[in-house]
Amino acid sequence: MPSSQLPPVRRFLWAQGPASSASVPAGTLLANRYRVIDFPLIQDQQPQSPPPPLASVPPLAEPYLALSPFSVNIPRPFTQVLHPDGQSTLLLLEEIPLQGTAQPHQVPTLLPTLTASWPGATALHQLAWLRQIAKLWQPSVNQQTAYILLDWQHLRVDGEDLRLLCLEAKATAVTLANLGQQWQQWVATAAPEIRDYLTHLTNHLIAGQGSATGLVYSLVQAIEAISNQQTLTVQLATASDQGPTRQRNEDACYPESGAMHQMSMDGRRTDPALVVVCDGVGGHQGGDVAAHLAIAEVSQRINQFFNGPTVDHRQVVAALKEAIIAANQTITARNDADQRQDRDRMGTTIVVVLVYGGRLYVAHLGDSRAYRVRSHSCRQITLDDDVAAREMRLGLGLYQDALQQPGAGALVQALGMANATNLHPTVKLYPLAMDSVVLVCSDGLSDNDLVDHLWPSELMPVLNGQIDLGSATQRLIGLANAHNGHDNVTVGLLHLKVEPCDRPIAVSVDLAEQPLLAPPPIRAVASPPSVAAPATALPLTPSNRSSRSGLRWLTSMVMVALVGLGSALGWLWFSRRDGAIAPTERTTESGETLSPSAIPPTVDETDTAGNLVVGDFLQIQQLPDPSAAATLLTTQTPPDTDAPLTAVDLPERLLSIGSIVQVNGRQQTPDGRLWVRLKVCSLASETVDPGPSPPATESAEPTPEPRDRLLPLAQAGDQGWLLQADLPVFAEQLLDTSITQRGLCTD
């Protein structure tokens, strides 16, 4: 069908303004474009056009940008318009929790609240919702929005997903005890197999025991216990095409194009279902080589890893990351061996979908995407690694504004272009409690929002069983060639059918003790030998990539050079502005990417600690002065007091010599002091020998007993604050770390 005949995309927005803002009558047109349906529900009358760019980021949008890595849960600021009263502004949000947007003449409604959906929901639904609240907790505390997680009217549910209606920063003190009190209200109507577990869990939280890290770990284990009891039928198919304007295909997929498979999984069968899509990039030659190298490396490692005993969630996350890192090293080695420089270096995007143990895992680098289709929605579940998304994560602009900037689509992460130490694949877990379809694709399909146009007509019939996956993949290839046509196109489809266990076994109450404990460190994944870069099977012939793909790669190099966000190879990852810790993302205990606290306004450029970025690793050092020791303040926020720290009764833990810590946030208190939030990754016994003690020195006075020796030792998984000025004294930055050293900071 011609482009004019594409099904229309309807964009609905949610208006958020000051509490004093008056309601706006239905039918009112805001900014000559946005029609009020039922305030604050708004419909964009020009969904095909971007909004006019804003001069600056609205303050109301800042917490959304800081939490933007939680794209499945958090709305996204679209633009800001003037309220009809002329005195205030309205922030318009997209990706809001609505149902019914696919029907052309139906007015959408808000998704049901967690309150309404909880009674009668399955155990897996309930655990999935609680886990997402737990994962959002600490980042929301950092943004002063955690109180929203206690307001059930703001919490909406979309199948297994928890979705927030809106955010607003308020200086409201909330604790995990408050969260436990809220959750306790739902224990009586929880599914029978998790009722005792939740009783013990909420009792611990109310008593002030445990941490957000331990809470997430506990809930993930409970999800594993329930998921392993259900039966899952997986159908999958792949297709790849060079497109009408290309002379060769630089995409690749696993299984190979044209494959169709079906398998059944339960607690006794642990064989994984795996789909991988790669989109080769990299100048005039080698994109197809890089894509095939990545496919071979990742598929071999994943299949070999799961050809053995059952593994748990954290091992799955580690295995996916290690496979992607290994693929990066293989491609990088090939680039180096061929003496490729700058834009001649080959690389590839990658998106990996793994179904294992009744759970869905999605890992990615670059802008190849994964979408999840349910009965009423199709949602992107990966966040592109491009400049536009990066600007949003850094809080430099709204996503729609960033998309309009030159080089917005330039990649900031892909395989083969940088050393593994600067590579950060995202891995996410999605529990499977209901039937769904997962689409994996290269940008040959996803460009120009084509999936948003096509999913009601092309993917809903797959979910409903009206069309087989093989036919669906071929139709998507044809439609991509007809409406985009500028690139290769690769598609993977998985139809996931869930059959819950008739007689589920109750989740052990022992798992409720996990919030009191730090998760055990992840041991290094046993890795097979790397796939050798083929010398003849995939010859390096000159590429005929279109000018658009060449421009995407070149633009990445130019943009990086201009804004100073990359390495000498033009590869962007860490951002260091005025020596400050940039709000780059970090990775949590269950594999998802989080956002740190907002950066302070200025930092002394001569301060070496100010050159750290979120995600950097440090090792606690031994000092000649035995009375000096690094202590971690284990409060949710840094202390705001002018009194000496020794005169204030604060919860502290001693950082043992040789411990590995990771930077995961930063905050400036009103008294002007700069604090860095650290997470303990591993202890000295789990990392390296810190070396011999310094020689004893003569002293006329006896060595004082340091106050810190009376403190408990910080354990792996603990988080807390340390003054930035103290970091150069107590810690040394590590430029490279092993998986054992990274410990709890690995997944």
Residue 305 pLDDT exceeds 80: yes
The strand ranges marked E within 471-544 are 489-499
Q: Determine the pLDDT at residue 611.
A: 58
Q: Determine the pLDDT at residue 627.
A: 53
Higher pLDDT, 645 or 439: 439
The percentage of residues in the chain with a pLDDT greater than 90, rounded to a whole number, is 56
Q: Which of 162-171, 231-240, 541-550 has the lowest mean pLDDT?
A: 541-550
CATH T-level assignment (fold) for domain 231-500+519-523+538-548: Phosphatase 2c; domain 1 (3.60.40)
Q: Are 582 and 599 in contact (CB under 8 A)?
A: yes
Buried b (16+ CB within 10 A) or exposed e, 508-531: eeebbbbbeebbebbeebeeeebb
Per-domain boundaries in the chain: 3-95, 114-227, 231-500+519-523+538-548, 576-693+702-745
Nearest to 347 by CA among 556, 173, 181: 556
Q: Determine the pLDDT at residue 259.
A: 96
Phi, then psi, of 225 in degrees rounded to 5: -60, -40
Strand pairing report for 98-99 and 109-110: antiparallel
Residue 534 pLDDT exceeds 50: no
Helix (H) or strand (E) holding 327: helix 313-337
CA–CA dist 364, 369 (Å, integer): 8
Strand pairing report for 719-723 and 674-682: antiparallel
Query: What are the pLDDT digits (tens) for 255-268?
Result: 999 999 999 988 66
Query: What are the pLDDT digits (tens) for 394-418?
Result: 999 999 999 999 999 999 999 998 7
Give the pLDDT band (50/70/90) at residue 747.
Answer: low
Residue 305 pairs in a beta bridge with none
Q: Determine the pLDDT at residue 283.
A: 53
Q: Are 430 and 160 in contact (CB under 8 A)?
A: yes
pTM recorded for the entire structure: 0.76
* Average pLDDT in the chain: 81
Residue 689 pLDDT exceeds 50: no
Nearest to 521 by CA among 657, 654, 659: 659
Higher pLDDT, 467 or 516: 467
Give the pLDDT band (50/70/90) at residue 594.
Answer: very low
Helix (H) or strand (E) holding 477: helix 469-483
Q: Are 732 and 688 in contact (CB under 8 A)?
A: no
Query: What are the pLDDT digits (tens) for 417-436?
Result: 877 877 889 999 999 999 99
Residue 29 pairs in a beta bridge with 35
Query: What are the pLDDT digits (tens) for 87-111?
Result: 899 999 999 999 876 667 788 999 9
Task: Using alpha carbons, list the distances in angstroms from residue 245 to 487, 547, 549.
Answer: 7, 11, 12
Give the DSSP per-residue string, 129-195.
Answer: HHHHHHHHHHHHHHTT-GGGGG-GGGEEEETTEEEES----------HHHHHHHHHTTGGGS-HHHH
Query: DSSP class of residue 609?
Result: G
